[in-house]
Amino acid sequence: MSRLLADPLRARIVALLADGPACTCHLVADTGAKQPNVSNHLRALREAGLVAAEPHGRFTYYRLLPDALEAAAAELSDLAHRAAANSESRREC
Protein backbone atom coordinates (compact mmCIF):
# COMPACT_ATOMS: atom_id res chain seq x y z
CA MET A 1 0.00 0.00 0.00
CA SER A 2 2.71 2.49 0.92
CA ARG A 3 4.44 1.76 -2.38
CA LEU A 4 1.20 2.47 -4.19
CA LEU A 5 0.91 5.89 -2.56
CA ALA A 6 4.62 6.68 -2.86
CA ASP A 7 4.08 8.20 -6.30
CA PRO A 8 3.31 11.92 -5.79
CA LEU A 9 0.69 12.09 -8.55
CA ARG A 10 -1.08 8.98 -7.30
CA ALA A 11 -1.06 10.37 -3.77
CA ARG A 12 -2.50 13.64 -5.10
CA ILE A 13 -5.27 11.77 -6.92
CA VAL A 14 -6.15 9.92 -3.71
CA ALA A 15 -6.21 13.22 -1.80
CA LEU A 16 -8.50 14.76 -4.43
CA LEU A 17 -10.84 11.76 -4.35
CA ALA A 18 -11.04 12.05 -0.56
CA ASP A 19 -13.05 15.21 -1.22
CA GLY A 20 -15.57 13.28 -3.29
CA PRO A 21 -15.99 11.39 -6.57
CA ALA A 22 -14.47 12.91 -9.69
CA CYS A 23 -14.13 12.01 -13.34
CA THR A 24 -10.84 11.83 -15.18
CA CYS A 25 -11.36 15.29 -16.69
CA HIS A 26 -11.61 16.79 -13.18
CA LEU A 27 -8.47 14.99 -12.05
CA VAL A 28 -6.56 16.08 -15.16
CA ALA A 29 -7.57 19.70 -14.52
CA ASP A 30 -6.79 19.54 -10.80
CA THR A 31 -3.39 17.88 -11.17
CA GLY A 32 -2.17 19.31 -14.46
CA ALA A 33 -1.14 15.80 -15.51
CA LYS A 34 -1.84 14.30 -18.92
CA GLN A 35 -5.01 12.23 -19.28
CA PRO A 36 -3.22 8.92 -20.09
CA ASN A 37 -1.04 9.34 -16.99
CA VAL A 38 -4.06 9.98 -14.74
CA SER A 39 -5.89 7.02 -16.29
CA ASN A 40 -2.93 4.71 -15.64
CA HIS A 41 -2.80 5.79 -12.00
CA LEU A 42 -6.55 5.30 -11.63
CA ARG A 43 -6.20 1.79 -13.07
CA ALA A 44 -3.51 0.95 -10.51
CA LEU A 45 -5.68 2.32 -7.69
CA ARG A 46 -8.68 0.30 -8.96
CA GLU A 47 -6.62 -2.88 -9.20
CA ALA A 48 -5.39 -2.34 -5.65
CA GLY A 49 -8.98 -2.00 -4.43
CA LEU A 50 -8.65 1.63 -3.30
CA VAL A 51 -10.90 3.19 -5.94
CA ALA A 52 -14.19 2.21 -7.56
CA ALA A 53 -15.28 3.31 -11.03
CA GLU A 54 -18.93 4.31 -11.47
CA PRO A 55 -20.40 5.10 -14.90
CA HIS A 56 -22.54 8.24 -14.96
CA GLY A 57 -23.87 9.07 -18.40
CA ARG A 58 -20.94 9.29 -20.79
CA PHE A 59 -18.47 9.85 -17.96
CA THR A 60 -16.92 7.52 -15.43
CA TYR A 61 -16.58 8.84 -11.91
CA TYR A 62 -14.02 7.45 -9.51
CA ARG A 63 -14.52 7.31 -5.78
CA LEU A 64 -12.24 6.36 -2.95
CA LEU A 65 -13.13 3.25 -0.94
CA PRO A 66 -12.79 4.28 2.73
CA ASP A 67 -12.71 0.70 4.06
CA ALA A 68 -9.59 -0.06 2.01
CA LEU A 69 -7.86 3.07 3.34
CA GLU A 70 -8.85 2.25 6.91
CA ALA A 71 -7.42 -1.27 6.55
CA ALA A 72 -4.15 0.16 5.22
CA ALA A 73 -4.04 2.71 8.05
CA ALA A 74 -4.58 -0.05 10.61
CA GLU A 75 -1.76 -2.09 9.10
CA LEU A 76 0.61 0.90 9.17
CA SER A 77 -0.44 1.71 12.73
CA ASP A 78 0.33 -1.88 13.77
CA LEU A 79 3.78 -1.64 12.17
CA ALA A 80 4.44 1.65 13.98
CA HIS A 81 3.50 0.09 17.33
CA ARG A 82 5.71 -2.94 16.70
CA ALA A 83 8.61 -0.71 15.70
CA ALA A 84 8.22 1.41 18.83
CA ALA A 85 8.01 -1.65 21.07
CA ASN A 86 11.07 -3.26 19.50
CA SER A 87 13.24 -0.24 18.77
CA GLU A 88 15.81 -1.15 21.42
CA SER A 89 15.92 -4.93 20.95
CA ARG A 90 18.73 -5.75 18.57
CA ARG A 91 19.22 -9.25 17.21
CA GLU A 92 22.65 -10.57 18.02
CA CYS A 93 24.85 -11.70 15.15
% residues pLDDT > 70 (the chain): 98
25-62, pLDDT tens digit by residue? 999 999 999 999 999 999 999 999 999 999 999 999 99
In the chain, what are the helix, strand and coil shares in percent, each to the nearest 5? 55, 15, 30
The CA-atom distances, in angstroms, between 45 and each of 51, 62, 69, 76, 93 are 6, 10, 11, 18, 41
What's the CA gap between 68 and 85, in Å, rounded? 26
% residues pLDDT > 90 (the chain): 68
The pTM for the full model equals 0.81
Q: Write down the pLDDT at residue 79.
A: 87
